[in-house]
Amino acid sequence: QVAIKKMSLLEEVSEDLAVNEVLAMRDNRNANIVTYLDSYLVDGELWLVMEFMDSSTLSDVLKAVYLEEGQTGAVCRE
């Protein structure tokens, strides 16, 4: 299974952000980060194909529970 993140490229800022995200994901492999597999341009959108994770995002976790600053730093670092 894979996950596909669709990013609009209609705005110039979006294009720069998308390129930076692809480069960061492609060049930084870590067991704690979703694996980037490939990307495609489809009708003005950039589709990022990634490893599928059957869980929540870090943002979801931080919204659901209160963590002290040090705990948040430890989670982000990992």
- Where in the chain are the domains? 2-76
Number of alpha carbons in the 13 Å side-chain half-sphere of residue 56: 8
Q: What is the pTM of this model?
A: 0.62
Provide the 3-class DSSP secondary structure of residue 70.
helix
- Which fold is adopted by the domain 2-76? Phosphorylase Kinase; domain 1 (3.30.200)
The pair of structure tokens assigned to 30 is: 């870590």
- C-alpha to C-alpha distance for 31 and 22, rounded to whole angstroms: 17
Residue partners of 61: CB distance under 8 A and separation at least 6: 75
According to the model, what pLDDT value does residue 12 have? 65
What are the pLDDT digits (tens) for 24-75? 888 888 777 788 999 998 988 889 899 888 777 767 777 888 888 888 788 7
